[in-house]
Structure 1
Amino acid sequence: MSAVESFLTPAEESAIVAAIASAERATSGEIRLHIERLCSGDPLERAKQVFELLEMHKTEQKNGVLFYLAVDDHKFAICGDRGIDAVVPADFWNSTKDLLASHFKRAEFAAGLIAGIELAGEQLKKYFPYAKDDQNELSNEISKG
């Protein structure tokens, strides 16, 4: 089993997918998690590449959020599309990253990701509330590379 496949237990993966679904029930925004082994450069730049590869830039309101992890390199990043970036507080992504880091230092990876997903969901709900005609534009499943 690869480092990516064994990074989270099946129960942890299910809990994260459930947290994404729960966060998205209150918003038109979209949240994804991508996990891969290595990130040779800047994790934020890689997250932006993955964001495009997952076609997260195609959401109608430009309100996708990607949590990116490179497990072997111990690197991670969070990036939001321009719609959500334009409205969240300037330090939001960094403070969310700090929250994840505090959990990650204690090897609480799933708990950290869930906490970050919940924070992102709160911001998405505030600025992009759910409307009855909203559709889930992207899969909630964890992508792996």
Structure 2
Amino acid sequence: MKSMNSMSKEASDRITEAVSAAEYRTSAEIKVIVLSYCWTDIREKAESLFYKYELHETQDRNAVMILLVLVNHEFLVYGDKGIHEKVEEDFWSTVCSAMREKFQAGNLVDGLCTGVERVGDQLATYFPRAEDDVNEVTDEVVHED
């Protein structure tokens, strides 16, 4: 992964657009969180952030968080209970492999957008968007230090 300590507004906007496009096809929620660094285990941090941003409170428990830690060169795709009950076992590794390929080529934004698109494609199958769908989680990228 290319070393970075922050992400530009243009990059964040592009990722937000990818989230909006993915969620247009599904009732599931996708949240991208970018951290500058993480001094704890990434899984512990992901769980903490999942609750902090109330992603566990979606109606169908179908939120997915993509967490990227810039300085640590780590990322994690973290899904709620409803997602785990529906997707195939290899879903998470397939998404992560596609993202890792982009990250290793030095393109963080493409990697995040690829992850968002893959998650959206899969979740549209299990959680199709209804006419009365409500966006329960904002689409904007969250940046934390």
Q: Same-fold call, TM > 0.5? A: yes
Displacement of 1:103 in angstroms is: 0.8
Q: Distance in 2 between matches of 1:48 and 1:126?
A: 25
Given residue 141 of structure 2, which amino acid in structure 1 is its aligned partner?
I
Q: Distance in 2 between matches of 1:46 and 1:78?
A: 12
Partner residue in 1 for 2:12: 13
What secondary structure sits across from 1:32 in the alignment? strand
- Detail structure 1 runs of 4+ shifted over 3 Å in the superposition: none
Partner residue in 1 for 2:24: 25
What secondary structure sits across from 2:59 in the alignment? coil
What secondary structure sits across from 2:61 in the alignment? coil
Please show how residues 84-95 of structure 1 align to structure 2 within 5 Å.
84-95=83-94
TM-score (norm 1): 0.92
Displacement of 1:83 in angstroms is: 0.3
Partner residue in 1 for 2:104: 105
List per-residue Cα deviations over 1:81-118 (Å, max 9, x = no partner): 01011111101112211111111111110001111100
Moved more, 72-81 or 41-50: 41-50
Q: Count residues with an aligned counterpart.
A: 141
State, as a whole percentage, how many aligned pairs show the same letter. 33
Please say if 1:63 is aligned against 2:62.
Answer: yes
Aligned CA RMSD, in angstroms, stands at 1.2
Quick check: 1:59–1:137 contact (8 Å CA) kept in 2?
yes
Structure 1: state its 5+ residue gaps. Answer: none
Displacement of 1:68 in angstroms is: 0.3
What secondary structure sits across from 1:40 in the alignment? coil
